[in-house]
Amino acid sequence: MSQIRVLLVDDSDDFLDVVSEWLTADPGIQIAGTAHTGCEAVTRVEELKPDVVLMDVTMPGMNGFEATRSIKSKPDSPLVVLLAFHDSETARHAAWAAGADDLMAKANVTAGLLTLVRDLVAGRQPVAQVTGEKKRSIRVSKPLTKQGPSREI
């Protein structure tokens, strides 16, 4: 299998250095490049054609959600995993609304990022997305009409 080409996007040089060093220790990963802003990420995606973009949510100027929306609006767009300070249901929904393939808390990067990237590249739906889909259904405890049982919507 060929290497997975990754574009790292974060406004912190320290974060880029650490994650780059950690990812390149895996022979299946190649760092295609880095970017420090959402605008730069959009340009670098067009230039470098990475397989996966790992992008910080919070950056000056164009944030990760906006950059993802721009990247995903183009044909043959790469997979995009947004990296957030916290993984919350609200952040996850915002990530999916922007077109991201998944969202991960930065604190979990070393524990699950490689598996997530490999699953996405292989076309498998990440476990977090499956769980996220289940979280979206709302359990209605009272009937929606006077007749009829409770149901999920």
Dump pLDDT digits (tens) for 55-98: 999 998 999 999 999 999 999 999 999 999 888 888 888 999 99
Q: In the chain, which stretches have pLDDT less than 70?
A: 1, 125-153
DSSP code, position 42? H
- Phi then psi for residue 79, to 5 deg, are -70, 145
Residue type (1 letter), 19: V
Q: Give the span between the Cα atoms of 97 and 64, in whole angstroms.
A: 12
74, part of any domain: yes
151, part of any domain: no
Q: How many domains, the chain? A: 1
Structural domain span for residue 95: 4-136
pLDDT at 126: 56
150, part of any domain: no
131, part of any domain: yes
Helices (H), the chain: 13-24, 38-48, 64-72, 89-98, 109-121, 127-136
CATH for 49: 3.40.50.2300
